[in-house]
Amino acid sequence: MYSLLKTLWLIFLHLFHRRETIEYPERKAYLAPRWRGRIILSRDPDGEERCVACYLCAVACPVDCIALQKGELPGGRWYPEYFRINFSRCIFCGYCEDACPTYAIQLTPDFEMSEYDRRNLVYEKEDLLISGVGKYPGYSFYRVAGLAIPGKDKGQAENEEPPFDPKTLLP
């Protein structure tokens, strides 16, 4: 009986406690930088697309919501001809971000993407591509990768030694 009265009193005191509710449209909850929300495609510091159309994100995607097509620039750089994410399927698991070798695809702390028409949830490349570097400033795949592109030959990447010449015996 005493415990019942105590319960009643304690619950009554909750009248004066702070509310846990965040009144959403007026106030927004804090979302961590690594919160998994709307997916974007980032650019490298030079303003070029980071995506190299390797298809790893599309393979990793458990719901098959990513579709893209590889294209090749004259210098040998790969890029996606189209890049399409169907957000009505996306489960925001973040596997694509994990799979991406170039930090191109990233999940952002934004979830306000409701639409009245389901077709509007299919985002094309121009919807996904942002102008910045996203979560990884300063990273450029082609600067660290060994691939030869115009303006950067083999052995000229960061931390890369010049190619070994097998035809000479000198060390």
Least Cβ distance, residue 22 to another protein (angstroms): 10
Least Cβ distance, residue 24 to another protein (angstroms): 10
The token duo for 49 is: 């697309």
- In the complex with another protein, which residue's Cβ is closer, 13 or 170? 13
The token duo for 105 is: 């695809």
- In the complex with another protein, which residue's Cβ is closer, 8 or 130? 8
Least Cβ distance, residue 106 to another protein (angstroms): 34
- In the complex with another protein, which residue's Cβ is closer, 17 or 119? 17
Separation between Cα atoms, residue 75 and residue 97, nearest integer Å: 26
Burial classification of residue 125, based on how many CB atoms lie within 10 Å of its CB (0-12 exposed, 13-18 middle, 19 or more buried): middle
Least Cβ distance, residue 10 to another protein (angstroms): 8
Q: Where are the alpha helices (DSSP H) in the chain?
A: 2-13, 56-60, 95-99, 125-128, 141-144
- In the complex with another protein, which residue's Cβ is closer, 14 or 167? 14
| Residues making contact with another protein (CB under 8 A) | 4, 7-8, 10-12, 14-15, 17-21, 23
In 3D, which of 144, 158, 89, 150 has the Cα closest to residue 121?
Answer: 89
